[in-house]
Amino acid sequence: MENFIKGYIKNIDKLTLNTWLTNQNIFLNDNELNILYMHLVNDWYEFLYQNPTNILNDLKNKLSNDNYNKLKILYDEYYNKYHHYL
């Protein structure tokens, strides 16, 4: 599963990420999208397999409260639903 996720993350671009977020009713400005994208491509392993507290704190400080809260809810939902497959 890890190699599948790694390959997917390697091929994702900002437009794809932004489109998916928009479909989830999360609308990031360019700066927020860049921040989230950098964490996605650089820190995906920590997010899924380790403790993402430092990343979440960084996002909380750099994203609007509304966007952070929506992303956190989405992360928790997907993590709870799929973490046992990881």
Q: Give tens-digit pLDDT for 17-60.
A: 999 999 999 999 999 999 999 999 999 999 889 999 999 999 99
Residue 33 pLDDT: 98
Tokens for 49? 């397999």
User: How much is the pLDDT for 82?
Assistant: 87
Question: Measuring CA to CA, which residue among 79, 59, 78 is closest to residue 69?
Answer: 59
- Map out the domains of the chain as residue ranges: 2-85
Residue 5: count of CB within 10 angstroms of its CB: 14
d(CA 7, CA 14): 16
Residue with tokens 């430092």: 54
| Nearby residues of 45 by Cβ (< 8 Å), 6 or more positions away | 2, 6
In the structure, what pLDDT confidence band is assigned to residue 4 with cuts at 50, 70 and 90?
A: confident
Q: What is the pTM of this model?
A: 0.88
What whole-number distance in Å separates Cα of residue 46 and Cα of residue 42?
9
pLDDT at 5: 86
Q: How far apart are CA 70 and CA 45, in angstroms?
A: 21
Tell me what pLDDT residue 3 has: 85
